[in-house]
Structure 1
Amino acid sequence: MSEHTTGRIRWGILATGGIAASFTKALLSLPEDAEVVAVGSRSTESAKAFAERYGIPRAYGTWAELAADEEVDVVYVATPHSAHRAAAGLCLEAGKAVLCEKAFTINSREARELVGIARERDLFLMEAMWTYCNPLILHLLALVQEGVIGEVRHISAHFGFFNDFPPEHRMRDPELGGGALLDLGVYPVSFAQLFLGEPDTVEAWAQLTPERVDAATGIVLGWNGGAVATLSCGFTADIGAPAAIAGTGGRIEIPDGFFNADRFTVHREGVAPQTVRLADISDDHDRGSMRHEAAEVMRALRAGETESPLVPLDGSLSIMGTLDRIRERIDVRYPGVD
Structure 2
Amino acid sequence: MPLPSPRPIDPSSAPALRWGVIGTGWIAGRFADALHRHTAQRVVAVAARDLPRTLAFAAAHGIETAVTDRRALLDAVDAVYIAVPHSAHAAVAREAIAAGRHVLVEKPFATSAAEAREVVDDARAAGVLAMEAMWTRYLPQSDVLRQLISDGALGEIHQVVADFGSVAPYDPTGRMWDPALAGGALLDLGVYPVSFASSILGVPERIQASGLVTPDGIDLRATALLGYANGADAVVSTSMVSRTAERAEVIGAAARVDVLPSFFAPTGLRVTRRIGGRNEVEEWRDEAFTERYDGLGYQASALARYVGEGRTESPLHPLDEVVAVLDVIDRIRPQLTVVDPARFQDA
Tell me the TM-score normalized by structure 2. 0.88
Q: Report the equivalent of 1:320.
A: 326
Match of 2:315 in 1: 309
The normalised TM-score by structure 1 is: 0.90
1:285 Cα offset (Å): 7.5
1:10 to 14, 18, 22: 18
User: Could you say which residue in structure 1 is the equivalent of 2:72?
Assistant: 65
2:244 aligned counterpart, secondary structure: strand
1:131 corresponding residue in structure 2? 136
Contact 2:104 2:132 (8 Å CA) reproduced: yes
1:251 paired with 2:256, answer yes
Residue in structure 1 matched with residue 335 of structure 2 by the alignment: 329
Deviates more, 1:254-263 or 1:87-96: 254-263
Asked if structure 2 preserves the Cα contact closer than 8 Å seen for 1:255 and 1:264, the reply is yes
Distance 1:263 1:170 in 2: 31
Q: How does 1:113-192 map to 2 (within 5 A)?
A: 113-192=118-197
CA shift digits 1:223-254 (9 cap, x unpaired) = 02111111110122221301111111221112
Post-superposition Cα deviations, 1:182-234, rounded to whole Å, max 9, x if no partner, equal: 00000000000100001001111122246431111111100021111111101
**Is the 1:204–1:326 contact (alpha carbons within 8 Å) kept by the matching residues of 2?**
yes
Identity across matched positions, percent: 38
Distance 1:253 1:7 in 2: 34
CA distance in 2, matches of 1:320, 1:212: 16
Q: 1:293 is matched by which residue type in structure 2?
A: Q
Q: 1:38-76: per-residue Cα shift (whole Å, max 9, x none)?
A: 111122222222112222111111223322x2x301000
C-alpha displacement at 1:165, in angstroms?
3.0
Structure 1: which 5+ runs fail to align? 333-338
- Counterparts of residues 1-338 of structure 1 (less than 5 Å): 8-30=16-38, 33-67=40-74, 69=75, 71-209=76-214, 211-270=216-275, 271-279=279-287, 287-288=292-293, 289-330=295-336
Partner of 1:19, secondary structure, is helix
CA distance in 2, matches of 1:90, 1:39: 15
Question: 97-106 vs 147-156, which deviates more?
Answer: 147-156
User: Following TM superposition, by how much is the alpha carbon of 1:6 offset from its aligned partner in structure 2, in angstroms?
Assistant: 8.1
Aligned length: 322
- Cα RMSD, aligned residues only: 1.9
Q: Distance in 1 between matches of 2:271 and 2:14?
A: 40
| AA matched with 2:309 | A
3-state SS of 1:269 partner: strand
Equivalents in 1 of 2:140, 2:62: separation in Å?
A: 30
SS in 1 for 2:46: strand
- Note the C-alpha offset of 1:331: 7.3
Deviations 1:88-137 (A, max 9, x none): 11100111111101111001111111111111111111110111101111
> Runs (4+) of structure 1 moved beyond 6 Å?
none
Farther off after superposition, 267-276 or 176-185: 267-276
2: CA distance, partners of 1:86 / 1:144: 37
Q: What secondary structure does 1:127 align onto?
A: strand
Match of 2:7 in 1: none
User: In 1, distance between residues paired with 2:106 and 2:257?
Assistant: 28
Whole-Å separation in 2 of the counterparts to 1:325 and 1:274: 37
* CA deviation map 1:274-306 (0-9, x unaligned): 112225xxx667643111111101111222221
What's 1:335 paired with?
none
> Which letter does structure 2 place at the counterpart of 1:306?
T
Aligned letter for 2:336? I
Query: Residues 204 and 6 (structure 1 numbering): CA distance in 2 closer, same or farther, change over 3 Å?
Result: closer
CA 1:331–1:100: 2 relative to 1, 3 Å:
farther
The aligned amino acid for 2:134 is M
Contact map agreement 1:136 1:261 (CA 8 A) in 2: yes
Q: Larger RCO: Structure 1 or Structure 2 (Cα < 8 Å, ≥ 6 residues apart)?
A: 2
Deviation for aligned residue 1:324: 1.3
Alignment partners' CA distance in 2, 1:225 and 1:106: 29
CA–CA distance in structure 1, aligned partners of residues 298 and 14 of structure 2: 19
Structure 2 gap segments, 5+ residues each: 1-12, 339-347
Q: 2-side partners of 1:317 and 1:230: how far apart? A: 20
SS at match of 1:260: coil
